[in-house]
Amino acid sequence: MKVGYACGTIEHTLARRQFLGTLAVAGAGAVAGGLGVFSRPAVARQLESQQKRIVVFNMHGGLSQLESWDPKPGTDTGGPFRAIPTSVPGIHVCELLPKTAQQMHHLCLVRGVNTSEDDHGKGAYMMLTGRRQTPAADFPQIGAVAAKALTPAGSSLPGHILITPGGGGGRGNDAAYLGPKYSSIYLGNGNPPQNTVRPENVSEASDMARQDFRRQVNERFLNRRRTAVTEAFTYSYEQARQLMQQRDVFDVTKEPEADFDRYGKHDFGRHCLLARRLLEQGITFVQLSHSNYDTHNENFNFHIEQLGEFDQSFSCFVADLAARGMLDSTLIVVLSEFGRTPNVNQYYGRDHWSRAWSICLAGCRVPRGAVYGKTNANGTAVEEGEVDHGKLFHTYLQAAGVDSTGSFDIDGREMPIADPSVAPVSELLT
């Protein structure tokens, strides 16, 4: 679908993928026994308080920092909206976020982001991988890194979930050298993954017999001709079977009706409620998309409408995680690929701007009720606390308990978890 106000680049078309695509490579013993490491009860029943989780809100297209986290009312670039006080004295946000303002004591605003990249695809890649895109290498996105580093060994649930309108269980291609085991599963519309119900004309006993026969044939084949592709193919069946047994985890209709009213009966509200449910069930990483903020035209009217949805649902999400004691173990990141230009164009829009913009953090080791970084009076440049994608990527992982300066062992080769040329922002870690 073409969005009239956006710049029209291909990044604004979300791909649809098949649920039973290529999955992770597993060891022969695990496959032969029916993926034995997945045979334990649901992680929700064994989740320890120290297990960390990450949830990312991707404000796809480029959220305006001036209409959200860093308002500049009364300036030549500030636009028509006021700055309002929050639950933390001295910190103000745009008036389009009145409910989120009341959760400021849980949040940390990072107002000095400078990534110097105004292309949608490259900017998104940088913010989600912590590296610049290069033909020489592909790097895993933060969801894949978190799934590998944080998901308990005995988890029978996927560790990397993307929730987006229309998502129906397809697999992402975002794990790079970590392998398809850590690629995302796309969910949407508040529904469990598709094709996770046994056909009525197949009895449980018949299905078990089919699965046993499949495992025997697979193992016989793998003993003679084992490759990463054949193992991934076998693994896909096993994880699909485990998902069938736990599909209720993904069913947001199990949540109380009152919560739907609080979060909002729109896609984003349902998706935030689903994200809360998944995190409570022990899934390590969840990413939600709210789109499309590429407001080259009618920036102000669009942000009134879109941030109205975001404000209601996001504020409920933060308040619920705090009330349920989950903020100490859950990192919240609200990011985009860049911000919007301080100058307003002839179409009452704001264009791409990566030199001085903002993100929002909360939870885990992130300081609460804080602001880090500062832009100048009209928001055209960072004056204090400048950070970029690489530093932020390190910071996210460190906040969630991952040593971002370490490496993953990939087939005997040490691969740095994050860009070794930069370091986390110590002021954003407590």
Give the other-Cβ count within 10 Å of 411's Cβ. Answer: 8
Give the model's pLDDT for residue 205: 81
State whether residue 41 is helix, strand or coil.
coil
Give the model's pLDDT for residue 240: 63
Query: Which among 152, 107, 144, 150 has a CA at the least distance from the CA of 403?
Result: 150
Any residues with CB less than 8 A from the CB of 247 and at least 6 apart, and which? 192, 193, 196, 197
pTM of structure: 0.84
Q: Kind and range of the H or E element at 340?
A: strand 339-340
230 and 23 in contact (C-beta within 8 Å)?
no
Pair of tokens at residue 61: 């297209």
422 and 394 in contact (C-beta within 8 Å)?
yes
Give the model's pLDDT for residue 12: 52
- Residue 291 pairs with which residues in a beta bridge? 60
Give the model's pLDDT for residue 17: 36
Give the model's pLDDT for residue 157: 84
Provide the residue type at 20 as one letter: L
Query: Which among 303, 343, 296 has a CA at the least distance from the CA of 4?
Result: 296
| 50-191+257-428, CATH topology level | Alkaline Phosphatase, subunit A (3.40.720)
Query: Which among 188, 142, 137, 172 has a CA at the least distance from the CA of 332?
Result: 142
- Residue 413 pairs with which residues in a beta bridge? 410
Torsion sign, CA atoms 315, 98, 372, 119: positive
Phi then psi for residue 205, to 5 deg, are -65, -40
Q: Give the distance from CA 276 to its chain's centroid.
A: 13
Question: How far, in Å, CA of 214 to CA of 32, rounded?
Answer: 10
Provide the residue type at 243 as one letter: L
Q: List the domain boundaries for the chain.
A: 50-191+257-428
Q: Kind and range of the H or E element at 129?
A: helix 120-129
Q: What is the pLDDT along the chain (430 residues), one digit of tens a residue?
A: 445 556 766 555 443 333 333 333 333 333 333 333 333 343 334 444 578 999 999 999 999 999 999 999 999 999 999 999 999 999 999 999 999 999 999 999 999 999 999 999 999 999 999 999 999 899 999 999 999 999 987 777 889 999 988 776 677 899 999 998 899 988 877 566 666 666 778 777 877 777 777 777 877 777 777 665 565 566 566 666 666 667 788 888 899 999 999 999 999 999 999 999 999 999 999 999 998 999 999 999 999 999 999 999 999 999 999 999 999 999 999 999 999 999 999 999 999 999 999 999 999 999 999 999 999 999 999 999 999 999 999 999 999 999 999 999 998 999 999 999 999 999 999 9
Give the model's pLDDT for residue 232: 57
